[in-house]
A = this chain, B = another copy of it.
Amino acid sequence: MGDQLFKDSVETTLKVIGGKWKLVILCHLMDGARRFGELRRGMPDITQKMLTQQLRELEEDGIIHREVFMQVPPKVEYSLTPYGGTMGEVLHLLADWGLKHQERVDKEASPTSSDH
């Protein structure tokens, strides 16, 4: 696993999904297309700037699709590309692992068993 190609591949993935909000955005889009405002409401702590920026980067990487509806008021919908959909299993595995990790951390913090 320490070979160069493997390491490079792993780093490539991290570059694509490494932004602070990208994984969360993808989680939302996994459930279906979302408008800009819907995404904002779903992530109360993100700023417009960051949302726009991260969406653009995901778009450039071919992960998501941006569709502008020419109408007033403006409407823009974001959705996963078929390619972006392949992130699904990655997301699931990351979530699985994170969940177990969180449980571990919680257990350490609680006084139920020995502390150290």
Contact = CB atoms under 8 A, between A and B. Distances in A.
A76 interface: no
| Interface size of A as a range | 35 or more
Nearest to A61: B101
Contact of A99 (B9, B16, B27, B99): B9
A9 B94 contact: yes
Given A11-B98, A13-B98, 16 more contacts: A1-B27, A1-B30, A1-B31, A1-B91, A2-B27, A6-B95, A7-B24, A9-B94, A9-B95, A11-B23, A13-B95, A14-B18, A14-B23, A86-B97, A89-B93, A90-B97
Closest 3 CB pairs of A and B: A9-B98, A12-B98, A13-B98
